[in-house]
């Protein structure tokens, strides 16, 4: 990432009521030395959208001056008591705009911010006294912060800051989030703070505290209890949340993230198609087409990633004498270059207004009540029947196909995939498992189909360059053998699915 330093922050926060005494860390076996640090004066301005979209996702973005880590800080949730913190330096040039969020930080949360404006929502000034805790080997274990806080909510209609809020809080943060027994140490240190009279903080961050009490910004809309009464509706809501998580991972080029984002996109589309009554959609609805096209764009990078991994694994298993010519460079290095090109294309799509409107539409679908049934009619429940019939039809067509057999098998896979997601959402785990088996089996077949076509193309280029093409033929045969094994196992997998479907009915 070009956004600078990134680390995982593991900490606990405590409110400090009047009468609380300063904590003692004496007698803890892990702590050999306690060393006070010079006092720090910190001033931070926090940014968010008008609807507080970052806060709704437990994300904070601030510009801090003062202290050893002055700069822009983006904090992302990373599990209980943990957040990933990404830093970017301050622009200290004379023409610098203090409200201009660094592009690299903004890109990380672009799927949440989209094209909405970011503006200051709070200012927090902190007088911080730090105590460092060291282990017997001299390594820093944790940082204890005694904070006196003054805060103001910003962004009111008249542009004025809200009333000043003041409070006293303590923070405990592990220096190394990967330290063995770190969580246990944090708990033991926290007990010393509780013994001194502190109480667990009633807020997740300073920003959450000032915005909850400042009253200057609109509260996020409350979710209706009835919105997710339909299990498929609930499943779509969960997958839309997952999409935003994988979006962030793709932007960081995290391993397998493109694949997972593509899978999530396809899950949403399959669930929407299977539950049109719940969402008021039709097969030609623009949102379904946008999801299909997004999956297609992600598929360019994903297919190249699969090819690179397949070729690298297979070539490593082959004896050296069977690898002739610059095969590794053409197949593995070439596929990795194609992945990077595909990733750049995916990121371009994910930074577009078109993508933002898709995300807006998905969130609106999730937040909208399902259409009411006509008077005297019961709401039509979502079942697996229709999805299962499509798998049956695709299997029959594939069995009768005399040409384009690979395409016919791929249609079975797509049908099985949709059936899997719907069955999982509607409480049919056995059917979902059997459908997953078919999806996986034919996924391997499809990967083999793509690989064989690619090998033919690369062997022709190698031949034209005067290179030995023996290894390409060998790899082709291995892929063809795999495809044959997949086809041989298909009938048993379809039979198992039929049995599971009948038992569920």
Statement: residue 227 has pLDDT above 50: no
Note whether 121 and 52 are within 8 A (CB).
yes
Q: What is the CA radius of gyration of the chain?
A: 28
Percentage of the chain surpassing pLDDT 90?
A: 71
Percentage of the chain surpassing pLDDT 70?
A: 90
pLDDT in tens, 333-383: 999 999 999 999 999 999 999 999 999 999 998 887 665 655 555 555 667
Statement: residue 98 has pLDDT above 80: yes
Note whether 25 and 192 are within 8 A (CB).
yes
> At 95, is the pLDDT very low, low, confident or very high (cuts 50, 70, 90)?
confident
The mean-pLDDT minimum among 32-36, 82-86, 246-250, 321-325 falls in 82-86
Please provide the average confidence, as pLDDT, over all residues in the chain: 89
Domain ranges in the chain? Answer: 6-214, 231-504
Fold for the domain defined by 231-504: CHAD domain (1.40.20)
Alpha helices in 318-377 (DSSP H): 327-328, 334-350, 353-367
> At 140, is the pLDDT very low, low, confident or very high (cuts 50, 70, 90)?
very high
What is 6-214's CATH number, 2.40.320.10, 3.30.70.20, 3.30.930.10, 3.40.640.10? Answer: 2.40.320.10
**What is the model's pLDDT at position 2?**
41
**What is the model's pLDDT at position 382?**
67
Candidate ranges 4-18, 110-124, 279-293; pick with highest mean pLDDT? 110-124
Token pair for 489? 């196992």
- 211 versus 449: the higher-pLDDT residue is 449
Note whether 461 and 417 are within 8 A (CB).
no
Q: Locate tokens 């999806």: which residue?
A: 439
> At 25, is the pLDDT very low, low, confident or very high (cuts 50, 70, 90)?
very high
Query: What average pLDDT does this structure show over 74-94?
Result: 87
pLDDT in tens, 401-426: 888 899 999 999 999 999 999 999 88
pLDDT in tens, 421-431: 999 988 999 99
Q: Locate tokens 């039979």: which residue?
A: 495
Statement: residue 43 has pLDDT above 50: yes
CA–CA separation, 503 vs 505, rounded Å? Answer: 5
């Amino acid at each position: 990432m070009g956004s600078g330093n990134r680390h995982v922050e593991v900490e606990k926060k405590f409110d400090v009521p009047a009468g609380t005494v300063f904590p003692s860390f004496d007698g803890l076996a892990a702590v050999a030395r306690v060393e006070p640090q010079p006092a720090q004066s910190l001033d931070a301005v926090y940014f968010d959208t008008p609807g507080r979209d970052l806060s709704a996702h437990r994300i904070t973005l601030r510009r801090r001056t003062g202290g050893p880590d002055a700069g822009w800080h983006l904090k992302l949730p990373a599990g209980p008591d943990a957040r990933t913190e990404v830093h970017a330096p301050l622009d200290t040039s004379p023409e610098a705009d203090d409200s201009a969020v660094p592009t690299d930080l903004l890109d990380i949360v672009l799927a949440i911010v989209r094209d909405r404006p970011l503006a200051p929502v709070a200012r927090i000034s902190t007088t911080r006294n730090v105590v460092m805790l060291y282990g017997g080997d001299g390594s820093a274990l944790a940082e204890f912060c005694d904070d006196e806080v003054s805060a103001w909510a910003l962004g009111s209609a008249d542009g004025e800051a809200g009333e000043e809020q003041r409070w006293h809080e303590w923070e405990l943060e592990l220096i190394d989030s990967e330290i063995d027994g770190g969580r246990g140490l944090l708990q033991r240190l926290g007990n010393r703070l509780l013994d001194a009279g502190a109480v667990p903080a009633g807020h997740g961050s300073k920003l959450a505290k000032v915005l909850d009490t400042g009253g200057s910004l609109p509260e996020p809309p409350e979710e209706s209890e009835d919105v997710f009464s339909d299990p498929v509706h609930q499943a779509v809501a969960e997958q839309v949340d997952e999409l935003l998580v994988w979006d962030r991972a793709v932007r960081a080029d995290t391993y397998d993230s493109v694949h997972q984002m593509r899978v999530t996109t396809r899950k949403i589309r399959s669930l929407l198609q299977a539950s049109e009554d719940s969402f008021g959609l039709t097969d030609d609805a623009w949102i379904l087409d946008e999801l299909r096209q997004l999956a297609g764009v992600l598929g360019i990078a994903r297919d190249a990633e699969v090819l690179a991994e397949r070729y690298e694994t297979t070539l490593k298993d082959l004896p050296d004498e069977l690898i002739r010519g610059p095969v590794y460079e053409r197949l593995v290095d070439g596929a990795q270059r194609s992945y990077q090109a595909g990733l750049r294309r995916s990121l371009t799509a994910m930074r577009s207004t078109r993508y933002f409107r898709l995300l807006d539409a998905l969130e609106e679908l999730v937040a909208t009540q399902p259409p009411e049934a006509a008077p005297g009619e019961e709401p039509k429940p979502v079942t697996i029947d229709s999805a299962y019939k499509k798998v049956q039809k695709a299997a029959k067509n594939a069995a009768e196909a005399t040409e384009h057999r690979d395409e016919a098998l791929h249609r079975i896979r797509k049908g099985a995939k949709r059936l899997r997601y719907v069955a999982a959402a509607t409480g049919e785990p056995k059917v979902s498992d059997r459908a997953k088996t078919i999806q996986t089996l034919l996924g391997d077949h499809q990967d083999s189909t793509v690989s064989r076509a690619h090998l033919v193309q690369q062997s022709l280029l190698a031949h034209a360059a005067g290179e030995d093409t023996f290894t390409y033929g060998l790899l082709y045969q291995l892929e063809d053998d795999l495809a044959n094994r997949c086809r041989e196992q298909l009938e048993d997998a379809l039979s198992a699915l039929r049995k599971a479907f009948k038992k569920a009915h």
